Structure 1
């Protein structure tokens, strides 16, 4: 088992980050071209807690090297199941995802949390944790190689993901400012 963890501070408010999170895989994000489709399976709002729960299926182009794809079945797309919880009262977004493709051979469980940075107005912290376990039987050396490759790929994709999301946030802020300007409203 390998663990990947990272954190990042965005220079955007929690409101901006939590809203733009739904646009993370939009055409503005040239760093997420591997995402082919995002399908919302269900969305519910709890009247008791006020928490918005969303289930999504994310389809991605597979970027694993050929040796690994042939070992794991040769598929060129993968599916990820994601459940997210938006708690507006606590100003917290939690996203939990699990790979569905190759899940009998490799388990990747990721949790992402967005929340305001304590004492810093207009800043949001992003915390990402992933647990990666090669489940294939056989030699430990092969399992370790698969886990190490997956952690390194996760690290690379996390950096690209943050960069792409920064772009989505910046463009969203520009678009919002332009819309307010057209309506003759003061900037917030």
Structure 2
């Protein structure tokens, strides 16, 4: 088993980052996620809890497919909790298929930066365990390298969503301002 950890700081407030992280897929930065379905979603004691199924596709070397039968289409179970009062989001994901030879568990937490509330700290941890005799070490290293690359894409995906949210807000704001201006002009003509 191998463990990978990382910490990243977003230069955005917690609520902005969490909104974007929850809406991260699909995005053009990381095209591996092909589909997402919400299985359960509820609010209890002010905490939003969601369970989603993700479908991803990864390019797999032919020899891996021959050895394992895994085609590269991965299904994962994701559980997220968002606590707006305590400003804490946790997201855990585990793979559902290929578990006989590959087990991946991921945990992400988003919290305000204690030194600057206008920034958000993302802590990531992934554990990978491969059960392929004679290939375990090689596969675990290769998978964690891929995971690290995808983690960078995930962060860029969050930034992409934040940019889109800002653009949407500016477009709506401009439209509302223009409509209010038109209404004021109509009201003064009467």
Fold equivalence (TM over 0.5): yes
Aligned residues: 178
Q: Within 5 Å, which residues of 2 pair with 1:37-186?
A: 37-46=35-44, 49-136=45-132, 138-139=133-134, 142-184=135-177
Residue in structure 1 matched with residue 9 of structure 2 by the alignment = 9
1:123-143 CA distance string (max 9 Å, x none): 11111100111134x33xx11
**Which deviations, in whole Å up to 9, do the C-alpha atoms of 1:3-22 show, x marking residues without a partner?**
11111111111111111222
More helix by share: 2
Contact 2:91–2:108 (8 Å) recurs in 1: yes
How far apart, in 1, do the equivalents of 2:144 and 2:88 lie? 26
- CA apart distance, 1:72: 2.0
TM-score by length of 1: 0.88
Bigger mean CA offset, 174-183 vs 111-120: 174-183
1:24 match: 24
| 3-state SS of paired residue (1:184) | helix
What SS is found at the alignment partner of 2:54? strand
SS at 2:40 equivalent: strand
TM-score, L = length of structure 2: 0.87
1:111 Cα deviation after fit: 0.1
Larger radius of gyration: 2
RMSD of equivalent CA atoms: 1.6
1:120 CA drift (Å): 0.9
Q: 8 Å contact 2:108–2:124 — kept in the other structure?
A: yes
**1:121 aligns to what SS in structure 2?**
strand
* Alpha-carbon separation, structure 1, partners of 2:120 and 2:169: 19
Deviation (angstroms), 1:183: 2.1
Output one character per residue of 1:102-125: Cα deviation in whole Å (capped at 9) or x when no partner. Answer: 111111000001111113132111
